[in-house]
Every structure is written in structure tokens, then in C-alpha cells.
Amino acid sequence: MEELVPVVCPWCSVGCRLYIVSVNGHPRKIEWDYDHPNTPNRGKLCPKGVASYQFTISPDRLKKPLIKRNGKFEEVSWEEAIRYVAQKFKEIIEEDGPEALAFLGSERCSLEDNYVLQKLARALGTNNVEFAGRLCQSSNFVARSKVFGSPAQTNPFDDIVKSKVILVWGYNPAETNPVLFGQYFEKALDNGAKMIVVDPIKTKTAKFADIHLQPYPGTDLAVALAMLNHIIKNELYDKKFVEERTDNFEELAKSVEEYTPEWAEKVSGVPAEMIKRAAELLATGGNATIVLNEGVNQHANGTMTALAIANLIAITGNIGKEGVFSGVIPGAHCGLCAAVPGVNCAQLPGPVPLNEENAKKFSELWGFDVPRKPGLHYQAIFKAMAEGKVKGIFIMGQNPARSLANSSLIEEALEKAFVVVSDIFPTETTKFADVILPAASWYEKTGTVITQNRRVMRSFKAIKPPGEAKPDWEILVMLARELGVGEYFNYSSVDDILREINRAIPALKGATPERLNSNLEGCFYPCPDEESETPRLFLKGFPTKTGRAQLTPVKWVQPGEVPDEEYPLWLTNFRQVGHFHTGTMSMRSKSLIKRWPESFLMINPEDAKALGIRDGDRVRVETRRGSLVVRAMVTDRIRKGVVAMPWHWGVNFLTKDDAIDEFSKMPELKAVACRVTKEVVE
């Protein structure tokens, strides 16, 4: 039987809709969805969207539960696997308490899967529950929560097209959110908008820029402080907005007096004149879209830079009205599906802070006592594991052996604990597992997604899972029952879970199964009842104590590691349009791996010449943690003094685990000091 099933793309968070055409549960092709003009993509897809389901039919899919015995994985029944995990977890709880357990949720799994995961952790008594959002948006999340009272994206994508200026900071949407870039950013440029890009690399996005600033990695804070300085000193800020809708302007103005563009030039390598031009365009060019992403977030000073940029947004009055745009950009398609239900060591579903009042509320709703003590953040869970303090971990849809900083250290930690992984493929992390549980992939289950633009939508089961693979929420419910907490997990469908979420999270009260199943365009979160939704935020005020934006003075801080004589070059990393994260799925998608086959190192012609390196040479890239050998790409698209590689192929063997942002707990994933040598082939 041929079916046409509406789904949401399983890669980035733009939330593109498409159809899968399947015959008897097997995928045959995709169809573009032009039927729903209010969805973010309006029918369009990028190369990953087009390659959508290729990974689902890979022969490598996990099909049966596996238990490691004498160093070898053996196929077992679901009953045996779940019983074994439950028994081990019970032993750990009895001997060391529930805090010796940790749970990882996933931005590749649905709202329902993630809600159940965090609830299970809490039912067992631990708040050690995290996901890759910590490595992704945490810095901007903290900064915007402080300044605007909420991290959320403020306006619908259509407002980008109405902007006159676009500032893109440490973000390459032409590769990482291609449909967003093509459908909205490029249309704004076609309408005459001017674009400023801040990136050490001349990326696909930067090719469209009117002004391109190329700082050394991790020195963006200096550039942002100098822009604040120039705008305030020359009184180019929005006086009415500052007067009516912000607090602390005088303190902010005083705090940036010392950070002149000339000072910033010395720190960041960006000419003072260009910083001034960018500041003037931003302040006087009209309504602006101001977006930042991993080039800002993933630094030990990431929160500080994100705060400085939030101050820039506020003093130029580019928030709380139509025709502007800013906010956190959740990474993978379900980033918000893990953040909103509180897959976080210090937040409960909402997300709301883990405090006495909220813990009490959820204890009443759930019927068990929610643990009060905050858990460990992502990188700290692995540190505690290496120290023997976290003894068991349930990893749902994460590949920390490659996605966290300093992979060697993470592998050592995984070696020590009882590790359970639910995934759709064998990964670098499953190598260290004691039990592997085969999960149904995104197209093999029905689930709710919240896109980066806060649109809540349903994706439907389009194909049959392979072998005995099951949706994650079902796996978790089986485990909960075996652990003796089944009474709190009385769900027989995703709709049951969503109905509980409707009760648990007021902003999702109106996103009911009935509404989402019948209306494929979904609704903008917050949707407090079935009739309402919220496309624009902060039109009247900010959810801060005074209702006004809280301008926040920031001081210059260095990134975690800077070049020196031994390691003289800056190394950073980026994404390619054809690959996703650690590549477990994209490297098993035929059309993607064919076109984007391997890693490489971008190096400026001057640096290459000084090191005797020619285009195509094999080179060794070495940091204080480890080294990788890749092909050199000699190109003036990267600035002198900086080298860069895609992070999909093991870059975290080179990154630093102990430079962590004080406020967001983000490890320094983007900037490290390195040396590069030509690899001599014998």
C-alpha cells in the first residue's frame, strides 16, 4: 500500500515540512510540501532535507538489543536487556545513591521522548539530566534570559525579510540553516537590506556581506564592546527606546568607555575603521535582524559576548516590534523539544528554574518527590564519571565520545561507568556501552517538534522501524516499569504524553494532540489555549522584574587558550552543509558522503608558505590534547593566523575540556591554540 505521510525534517531546527512516500512501510521517495504555506519552508528543502531518509535504510541500523559480555556484544530480547539495565541501576542507587546516575536527552528525539526521559531521572531521584543544548545555545540562553527575561526567538521569519540591516555573528546559515537563509535572508538582501558578517572565515554567508569582520577566534567580545563604545560615544543609539524600555543605560555607557575600536583592533585583528562602519550601519541603517550562533556561543567567554550583543540589540531598539528579529537558534530539529521539557540539571519543564516552588509544583503533578539538589552540567557529568562518582549513565541519542570537548578524556570516563545507549546506529559512544538499545528513528515514530521559530508541529510515523527497534519513549516506559516507578509512566501513546505536557507546561497548554494532528502548520509557542498562539514577543514589555530590558555591563575576558610560541596558530571549526555533527547519520547517507567525503584544514596562503605546505598536502594539526592528520586546503577565505576544519571528523580530540564558561557551563569548543606541520610520507 502506498502512503503519503507528512513529516518534519530530522536535521536542523528550521523545521521544514515534507512528505515521505512509502510502500508497505518502506520509504520510496520524498515529496515537497507546497500544501502548507505557513510552514517555515513553504515547500523548499536543502540537500540534507532531500537526502532525508537515506540513513534510515542503511544496513548498519541497530535492530536488536545488545548486551556486552566478555567484551563482545550479544543479541538479547528486550525483556532481558531492560531487566539487566534496571538491575544495574538499582544496585548503583542502593550503593551510591541516585546521584551516581545520569541521563542524557537528545535534540534528535521528540518532545515526548525528552519529557519522559527527564521525568524518569527525577522519579529515580537525580537531576543529573542534560543534553547537547549545553554545548550549543547555553551562552546566548543565559545572556538573553538576563537582558530580555527570555531567550526565545522574538519574531516570525517573515520579519527578517522586512529588515533593512542583517548582522550575522559567528553563524553561517547558508550552510547550517540553508532554507532559512535562502527563503528569508536572501529575500531581505534582494529587497535592499545590507548585511554585516562577523566570522574569521569568508563563508558562504559572508560572500553576501557588505561588511565582513574577521576576528581571531574568541575575540568577538572586543569587537562587540567597541561597537557599543562607538554607538554610545557618538550618540547613535535609539534614545526613545533606551529611555522607555531599558534600565541601566548609564552604567553600560560608563563600562564601555575604555573599549575603543582602536583597542579592539589590537585584540581582535579587525581594523578599527571597519568596526566603526559596522557600528554605524547597525545603529542608523533601519530595522535589524541580529543573530549569533556557535562562533559566539562556544567559547569560555561566550556568555559575555552574547551579553554584549544583547546590549547592542537593546540600545539600537531592534526588539519588541515588527520587522526585527533575534533570539537563540536551537541547533538540531528537536533542540527546543529537549530544552522546553527541562532536560537540564537546573531546570524543570517550562523551562522553569529548579527551585523549591517549582519542585513542589511538579511533585504534586507527578506524584513523587522531585529532587531539589541541582544536578551536574554536561561536561561535569563526565568529569564525575572519570572520578568514579557517576557510576551509571543512560544516553539517549547523543554521541558524547565525539561531541564533548577532549574526546580522549571522555572515552576514559565512559570506560569506567555502566553505560546504556539508545541509538539508531553503532557510534563511537556505543563502543563503550554495556547495553545498546535499538531506537526507532524520527521517521519511524510520531512525535512533536518545536522549531527554532517556536512553531509546534507534529511529524507522523511514515516508515516501519527495522528489526525490533522501538520509539525512545516506549523504551523509557519499559525501563521505568522494571525500575518500580511504572505507576508514574502510564502512557500507551504519544498523545497520552502530550496531554500530560499540556498540563505540565502552561505555554504548551494549547498545543493539544487534537490541534496538532489536524493542523499541520501547528502553532507558535507560547500557545496557552487551543485558540491562541504568539508569533511576536515583547511587543509591550519584557518578562523581567521591571518589564524593561536589563542592560548589563560586561568586561573584556580572554578566551580559554590563546596561541603562544609552542602552539602559534588559532584553530577553530565549523559545519558543512552536507554533514551533521558527528556524522552518524549524514555519513551513512549516500548522496551526502559522496559529495562531502572527508575532513580538511583551511589555511591562509601566507601561513601555508611559511610552513612549506601546499594545497592538498597531508598535514598534522596538533594541540595540547591530541593530533589529527588531514588534507590542507590553502585558501585566502581564512584570515592569516587562523586555521579551521569541519568538526564532523573527530575535532574534539583537539579541544580543551577545562576552559568552561562560568555562567553557561559551555566548554571552549571553538578556539584552541595549535601547530601545523607537513606530514612526511615515507
Q: By the criterion CB under 6 A, which residues form the site for ligand MGD?
A: 12, 106, 108-109, 132, 135-136, 169-172, 175-177, 198-201, 203, 215, 217-218, 220, 293-295, 298, 331-332, 396-400, 403, 422-425, 427, 439, 441-442, 472, 572-575, 577, 579-582, 584-585, 644, 647, 651-652, 655, 669-671
Q: CB-wise, 82 or 644, nearer to ligand MGD? A: 644
| Strands 618-622 vs 569-574: parallel, antiparallel or unpaired | unpaired
**Cα-based distances in Å from 492 to 247, 475, 514:** 50, 12, 16
Closest approach, Cβ 681 to ligand MGD, in A, equals 28
Radius of gyration (Cα) for the chain, nearest Å? 24
Q: CB-wise, 285 or 646, nearer to ligand MGD? A: 646
Q: Judged by CB under 6 A, how many residues of this single chain contact ligand SF4?
A: 14
HSE (side-chain half, CA atoms, 13 Å) at 181 = 21
What amino acid occupies position 310?
Answer: A
Q: CB-wise, 330 or 559, nearer to ligand SF4? A: 330
How far apart CA 491 and CA 486 sit, in angstroms, is 10
Residue 449 in contact with ligand SF4, rule: CB under 6 A: no
Closest approach, Cβ 202 to ligand MGD, in A, equals 9
Residues 2-41 that bind ligand SF4 (CB under 6 A): 9, 11-12, 14-16, 41
Name the closest residue to ligand SF4 (Cβ).
Answer: 49
Residue 579 in contact with ligand SF4, rule: CB under 6 A: no
- Binds 201, which of ligand SF4, Mo ion, ligand MGD, none (CB < 5 to 8 A, cut-off by type)? ligand MGD
Cα-Cα end-to-end distance for the chain: 59
Residue 136 in contact with Mo ion, rule: CB under 5 A: yes
List b or e across 411-447, with b for residues whose CB sees 16 or more CB atoms inside 10 angstroms.
bebbeebbbbbbbbbbbbbbbbbbbbbbbbbbbbbbb
Q: Which of 20, 22, 30, 49 binds ligand SF4 (CB under 6 A)?
A: 49
Contact 619, 632 (CB under 8 A): yes
Q: Per DSSP, what are the bridge partners of residue 678?
A: 619
- Binds 448, which of ligand SF4, Mo ion, ligand MGD, none (CB < 5 to 8 A, cut-off by type)? none
- Order of all β-strands in the sheet with 129-130: 72-75, 66-69, 435-438, 418-423, 392-396, 101-104, 129-130
Q: CB-wise, 173 or 510, nearer to ligand MGD? A: 173
Q: Judged by CB under 5 A, how many residues of this single chain contact Mo ion?
A: 2
Given 3-state DSSP classes, what are the helix, strand and coil percentages for the chain, each rounded to the nearest 5? 35, 20, 45
Segment lying near ligand SF4 (by CB under 6 A), choices 43-51, 259-267, 617-625, 628-636 = 43-51
Residue 199: closest CA among 218, 181, 184, 180: 218
Q: CB-wise, 84 or 181, nearer to ligand SF4? A: 181
Closest approach, Cβ 476 to ligand MGD, in A, equals 10
How far apart CA 204 and CA 182 sit, in angstroms, is 12
Residue 587 in contact with Mo ion, rule: CB under 5 A: no
Contact 668, 560 (CB under 8 A): yes
How far apart CA 166 and CA 157 sit, in angstroms, is 13
Q: CB-wise, 289 or 544, nearer to ligand MGD? A: 289
How far apart CA 65 and CA 79 sit, in angstroms, is 9
Cis status of the peptide bond prior to 40, with omega within 30 of 0 = no
Residue 397 in contact with Mo ion, rule: CB under 5 A: no
Query: Residue 389: phi, psi to the nearest 5?
Result: -90, -35
Contacts with ligand SF4, 141-180, as mask; x by CB under 6 A: ------------------------------------xxx-
Cβ burial of 207 (10 Å; 0-12, 13-18, 19+) is: exposed
Contact 358, 352 (CB under 8 A): yes
Closest approach, Cβ 175 to ligand MGD, in A, equals 6
Residue 231 in contact with ligand SF4, rule: CB under 6 A: no
* CB atoms near residue 276 (< 10 Å): 19
Closest approach, Cβ 640 to ligand SF4, in A, equals 33
Q: CB-wise, 305 or 452, nearer to ligand SF4? A: 452
Q: CB-wise, 288 or 306, nearer to Mo ion? A: 306
Q: CB-wise, 11 or 241, nearer to ligand SF4? A: 11
How far apart CA 144 and CA 154 sit, in angstroms, is 11
Residue 45 in contact with ligand SF4, rule: CB under 6 A: yes
Residue whose entry in the numeric block shows the C-alpha cell 562577523: 198
Contacts with ligand SF4, 177-216, as mask; x by CB under 6 A: xxx-------------------------------------
Query: In 3-state terms, what secondary structure has residue 642?
Result: strand
Cis status of the peptide bond prior to 351, with omega within 30 of 0 = yes
Residue 581 in contact with ligand SF4, rule: CB under 6 A: no
Residues shown for the chain: 682
Residues 305-364 that bind Mo ion (CB under 5 A): 331
417, three cell numbers: 561507568
- Binds 670, which of Mo ion, ligand SF4, ligand MGD, none (CB < 5 to 8 A, cut-off by type)? ligand MGD
Residue 54: closest CA among 414, 424, 346, 332: 424
Closest approach, Cβ 419 to ligand MGD, in A, equals 14
Q: CB-wise, 48 or 122, nearer to ligand SF4? A: 48
Q: CB-wise, 359 or 587, nearer to ligand MGD? A: 587
- Binds 575, which of ligand SF4, Mo ion, ligand MGD, none (CB < 5 to 8 A, cut-off by type)? ligand MGD
Closest approach, Cβ 333 to ligand SF4, in A, equals 6
100, three cell numbers: 551516581
Residue 65 in contact with ligand SF4, rule: CB under 6 A: no
Residue 592 in contact with ligand SF4, rule: CB under 6 A: no
Query: In 3-state terms, what secondary structure has residue 572?
Result: strand
651, three cell numbers: 575535532
Interface with ligand SF4 (CB under 6 A): 9, 11-12, 14-16, 41, 45-46, 48-49, 177-179
Report the interface residues with Mo ion, using CB under 5 A: 136, 331
